[in-house]
Structure 1
Amino acid sequence: MRRTNNQHWACSVLAVVIVSIMTGEVRGQMRGNNGSDFAIGKVMQLWFWEEHFPSLTISENPTWEAQIFSKDPLVIYIHNFLSAYEIEHVLQVSEGNYIPSMVYPGDDAYVDTAERVSISAYVPRDDVVRRIEQRARAFQGWRGNSTRLERLKTQKYAVNGFYNFHYDWDNLVTDGNRVTSFMIYLNANCTGGGTNFPKLKPPKDTRWCSVIDCEDNEYEGVTFKPIKGSAVFWENMYPNGTFHRGVRHASLPVKTGEKIGLNIFGWDFDWRPSQSSA
């Protein structure tokens, strides 16, 4: 079948759009402690083929950069993981959906202000949110069909808001578990409110002081500063599926202002407690 000139033109335009979108996020880089860069690769392929063009109307791509903070447990700091447009969008669609934050031991769910004081909102899924989800999936690699992202949730902390020390994995569940976590900072107009990992070893290189609190004498370990648009990613398990206790963490109390974060959790449906140490 012969194509008309209009058909040729339409195909050419579509090809240009596809190539532009698929290469847009390749600008992200992985940076090691020695400063060397490692190209992440064509991560947009996953987003493109799984979502079938939902974000063709979105033109802004963040130029993110990642640094390995710890290898055991694996903790990675990501600069500029969300764009300003994406942050404002997530904040906007979360409004009106906030409820008091709960704790979730096993199959239970209840408010416990001794452990957690904040309000939370599930983020409605749209093209922008799906794009963030795909970026999070691509960042942590292709893990097979058993691993899915939980629905994204924003957390808003006012003055004295906090989340006490806890693990994201749950030793009371028997059918699947959280294997990965992202903590993304959407709004950081505050003092306090850092994310503390008491079992992480503070680095010797003072350049890390731009993203961690090097003057914190109140808490052990490492406290990541809440910096708008940036994220902390970590693996909750050892490679053999056992719980990693080095990822115990807390959202420290907000002293002034307000902090809003975005949680993205990877859930492995194939995980079973027989693989794990309680």
Structure 2
Amino acid sequence: MEKMKTISNELQDWIIDTLKQGVSPLAITNGLIKKGFDARFAYETMFEIAFASSDIKGASTYQYEPVYLNEQPHSIVVDNQMVFVRSNFIKPTIIQLDHVLSDEECDFLIERAKCRLQPSKVIDANSGAEKAAAGRTSKGMYFKLQEDDFIARIEKRISLLTSYPIENGEGLQVLHYEVGDEYKSHFDFFPENRVDNRKGGQRIATMLIYLNDVESGGETIFPKINASFTPKKGSAVFFHYSNSLGEVDRKSLHSSLPVQRGEKWVATKWIRQKAID
């Protein structure tokens, strides 16, 4: 049966109304695919509709506030590691960093993660449970917070770089992308109706650390500002997307492009508003 590749005005209005209610774009897209829409068409059309509308909450009213890393010099010594600031964006807040992890730390983290990889999942906007999604094809695993001395040292370094307490961070996640694997456009923050104050509240920032050089592909892109970051071993991209008013920055929309040659390993640290119980 041929997949649908057209969308009605009524369905377009429903998508916009549903986004205003806090349902994630990824959840809506997965629903369209289940209803028989072509997957590529569903992703491209849904995001075109969603982010062309200035009426969606937070699309144009987000108030930017000072972020610690934005105010640091071009070189920072943390945990005896010299970290360099390569680029600095304000709207949205994105800081590109070099030498966050050493080559040896990257290699050891990959070796520690290999035997624990599972198909990556996303948070369902309706139930709050983890589930598989068509737009995310990597494999991943989580370390427990401060699982051992090595993980604790990495978490301490991230905390010193960002100024957020270790306790505000989720467990370090390691992801592995093979050729063709990708993560389509998404936000890291939660829909408003899925913020759990018992678990640290809203996600406010992400530290994405590249653990290897990728032969081709695998870039992290922020389409709202046409920014692209190429994986480089030991480097990182830090982005901040929630303020003290509880607003979220929809300019933080991002994706991981398909790996074309080789493989891609990344470590992700999500940071919450407050300590995670």
Task: Provide TM-score, normalisation by structure 1.
Answer: 0.66
8 Å contact from structure 2 (residues 190, 202) kept in 1: yes
| 1:222 and 2:227 are equivalent in the alignment | yes
8 Å contact from structure 2 (residues 74, 85) kept in 1: no
Q: Give the aligned partner of residue 224 of structure 2.
A: 199
- Pairing partner for 1:122 from 121, 142, 150: 142
Decide whether aligned partners of structure 1 residues 184 and 138 sit closer, same or farther in structure 2, where only a CA change above 3 A counts. same
* AA at the equivalent of 2:124: P
Q: Cα distance, 1:38 vs. partner? A: 5.9
8 Å contact from structure 1 (residues 81, 231) kept in 2: yes
**C-alpha distance after superposition, 1:54-105 (max 9, x if no partner):** xxxxxxx432112442112211111011011211111111121000001113
Distance in 2, Cα, partners of 1:88 & 1:94: 10
* AA at the equivalent of 1:102: K
SS in 2 for 1:137: helix
1:2-21 matches, within 5 Å, as: none
Distance in 2, Cα, partners of 1:67 & 1:84: 18
* AA at the equivalent of 1:183: L
Which one has a bigger Cα radius of gyration?
1
Q: Cα distance, 1:40 vs. partner? A: 4.9
Q: Could you list the runs of 4 or more consecutive aligned residues of structure 1 that deviate by over 2 angstroms after TM superposition?
A: 36-41, 238-241
Decide whether aligned partners of structure 1 residues 154 and 181 sit closer, same or farther in structure 2, where only a CA change above 3 A counts. same
- Pairing partner for 2:260 from 247, 255, 263: 255
Distance in 2, Cα, partners of 1:120 & 1:159: 15
* AA at the equivalent of 1:129: I
| 1:264 and 2:269 are equivalent in the alignment | yes
Q: Give the aligned partner of residue 180 of structure 2.
A: 160
* AA at the equivalent of 2:218: G
Distance in 2, Cα, partners of 1:39 & 1:231: 14
More helix by share: 2
Decide whether aligned partners of structure 1 residues 224 and 115 sit closer, same or farther in structure 2, where only a CA change above 3 A counts. same
**C-alpha distance after superposition, 1:153-172 (max 9, x if no partner):** 11100010000100000114
1:171-190 matches, within 5 Å, as: 171=191, 172-175=193-196, 176-190=201-215
8 Å contact from structure 2 (residues 169, 269) kept in 1: yes
Task: Provide TM-score, normalisation by structure 2.
Answer: 0.66
Q: Cα distance, 1:142 vs. partner? A: 4.4
**C-alpha distance after superposition, 1:87-128 (max 9, x if no partner):** 11111111210000011134121112x211010011362212
* AA at the equivalent of 2:245: N
Q: Which moved more, 1:241-250 or 1:67-76?
A: 67-76
Distance in 1, Cα, partners of 2:181 & 2:268: 16
Q: Cα distance, 1:179 vs. partner? A: 0.7
SS in 1 for 2:89: strand
SS in 1 for 2:81: coil
Identity across the alignment (%): 30
Decide whether aligned partners of structure 1 residues 70 and 239 sit closer, same or farther in structure 2, where only a CA change above 3 A counts. farther
Q: Report the count of equivalent residues.
A: 199
Decide whether aligned partners of structure 1 residues 229 and 267 sit closer, same or farther in structure 2, where only a CA change above 3 A counts. same
Provide the aligned C-alpha RMSD in A: 2.5
Q: Give the aligned partner of residue 52 of structure 1.
A: none
Distance in 1, Cα, partners of 2:84 & 2:156: 17
8 Å contact from structure 2 (residues 76, 83) kept in 1: no
Q: Give the aligned partner of residue 136 of structure 1.
A: 158
8 Å contact from structure 1 (residues 31, 66) kept in 2: no
* AA at the equivalent of 1:131: R
Q: Give the aligned partner of residue 249 of structure 2.
A: 244
Distance in 1, Cα, partners of 2:138 & 2:155: 23
Structure 2, unmatched stretches of 5+, are 1-68
**C-alpha distance after superposition, 1:208-264 (max 9, x if no partner):** xxxxxxxxxxxxx11100111100001021342201001100011111110010001
SS in 1 for 2:155: helix
Decide whether aligned partners of structure 1 residues 115 and 31 sit closer, same or farther in structure 2, where only a CA change above 3 A counts. closer
- Pairing partner for 2:170 from 132, 150, 161: 150
**C-alpha distance after superposition, 1:164-211 (max 9, x if no partner):** 1000001141321111101110022331100000012xxxxxxxxxxx
